[in-house]
Amino acid sequence: MENAGDMPLQPSHLRVTVPSLWVRRFSPLIPKGGTVLDLACGGGRHVRYLLNLGYKVVALDRDVTRVADLADKPGIEVIEADLEGDGAWPIEGRTFDAVVIVNYLYRPLFRHLFEAVGKNGLFIYETFARGNEKFSRPRNPDYLLRSGELLEITRRRLQVIAYEHGLVDRGPTTGVMQRICAVNDLRASEREDGEPEPHGVRPT
Q: What domains does the chain contain, in order, with CATH numbers?
A: 12-183 (3.40.50.150)
Integer Cα distance of 37 and 98 in angstroms: 6
Beta strands 96-102; 35-39: pairing state: parallel
| 183 close to 96: Cβ distance less than 8 angstroms | no
Q: Is the pLDDT of residue 181 over 90?
A: yes
- For the chain, the distance separating the N- and C-terminal CA atoms, rounded to the nearest angstrom, is 26
pLDDT digits (tens, 9 = 90+) for 73-130: 999 999 999 999 888 999 999 999 999 999 999 999 999 999 999 999 999 999 999 9
Predicted confidence at residue 35, as pLDDT, reads 98
Backbone phi and psi for residue 170, each to the nearest 5 degrees, phi listed first: -145, 160
pLDDT digits (tens, 9 = 90+) for 7-58: 333 445 456 789 999 999 999 999 999 999 999 999 999 999 999 999 999 9
SS3 31: coil
